[in-house]
Amino acid sequence: MKIVVIGGTGLIGSKTVPILRQGGHEVLAASPSSGVNSITGEGLKEAMTGAQVVIDLTNSPSFEDRAVLEFFETSGRNLVPAEAAAGVRHHVALSIVAIDRTDNGYFRAKVAQEKLIETSGIPYTIIRATQFMEFLGGIADSSADGNIVRLPPGLFQPIAADDIAPIVAEVALAPPRNGISEIAGPELAPFNEIVARYLKAVGDPREVASDPEARYWGGRVEERSLVPLGEARLGRIGLDEWLRRSKARA
Ligand SMILES: NC(=O)c1ccc[n+]([C@@H]2O[C@H](COP(=O)([O-])OP(=O)(O)OC[C@H]3O[C@@H](n4cnc5c(N)ncnc54)[C@H](OP(=O)(O)O)[C@@H]3O)[C@@H](O)[C@H]2O)c1
């Protein structure tokens, strides 16, 4: 089966592509660097020819509110007709848990991406994941005020990219759900505590302060604002194991 992974060179894409190839599928890791651009439309028609499944793992180069919204809207509007013309039978996208009940600019852009998928007429499955463990450093940086990282004490349940990629591959090979399924990491703890454990483990001297008023990308975080409320599939890699693996790779 031919599977196109748009964003196949990114963090999750580069882990998903080899899993699908090992399963004997013809997989195109599509991205601007391979001549496929979902914003300009370059290479999309050729990439989609003969594809049965498309996995969208793209991300915006800029996280600024307007830029990210424009990215996911434009990309989605270009992907839908290209996939429809090629007769794609399953569109899979990676989204984020709680985007429709926690407000920030990035989440609004992901809601727009999901809406385009849901109204596209192409059978689909949306996987909503919690924050990636690989993103913990970026979160600390974005919440830093000098040497203090201010984070709300709401619950947090990050998941490792190594747990996500096999699930994305499995979902892509299963029948479309025409709905959303949620995945999260195996540990649930206050946001500030997880980031503090991460910073300590990587030798970052910054202190983490628990601050209920601290914002996440500009949005307020209540106790369960970032974690699944219903049934979610859980990854196996906890934070300590992920830190061990990251150190071994470095
Ligand atoms: N970070 C989180 O905590 C989190 C949580 C849940 C879900 N997600 C979602 O997971 C998805 C994948 O994230 P990631 O961290 O794996 O992304 P990433 O590492 O930033 O990779 C982004 C990919 O998108 C490609 N790309 C960028 N612009 C493109 C364009 N115009 N046309 C085609 N491809 C383009 C990049 O190609 P180049 O390599 O050529 O630039 C790269 O392959 C995102 O949609 C994100 O919203 C993230």
Strand partners for 181: 127
Looking from the CA of residue 34, the nearest atom of ligand 1 is 40
Q: How does residue 76 score in pLDDT terms, banded at 50, 70 and 90?
A: very high
- Asked if the model's pLDDT at residue 68 lies above 90, the reply is yes
Query: Which positions ≥6 away from 140 have C-beta within 8 Å?
Result: 149, 195, 198, 199, 204, 206, 208
Rounded to the nearest angstrom, the distance between the alpha carbon of 68 and the centre of ligand 1 is 11
Q: How far apart are the first and last CA of the chain?
A: 35
Look at residue 250 in the predicted model and tell me its pLDDT: 86
Look at residue 170 in the predicted model and tell me its pLDDT: 98
DSSP string, 4-67: EEETTTSTTHHHHHHHHHHTT-EEEEESGGGT--TTT-TTHHHHHTT-SEEEE----S--SHHH
Ligand 1 pocket, mutate which of 5, 14, 31, 128 (most atoms under 8 A from CB):
31
Which tens digits make up the pLDDT trace of 109-134? 999 999 999 999 999 999 999 999 99
- Report which DSSP code applies to 176: P
Share of the chain above pLDDT 90, in %: 98
Which tens digits make up the pLDDT trace of 182-239? 999 999 999 999 999 999 999 999 999 999 999 999 899 999 999 999 999 999 999 9
* d(C-alpha 224, C-alpha 218), whole Å: 17
Rounded to the nearest angstrom, the distance between the alpha carbon of 182 and the centre of ligand 1 is 18
Which tens digits make up the pLDDT trace of 3-32? 999 999 999 999 999 999 999 999 999 999
Rounded to the nearest angstrom, the distance between the alpha carbon of 245 and the centre of ligand 1 is 22
Looking from the CA of residue 56, the nearest atom of ligand 1 is 45
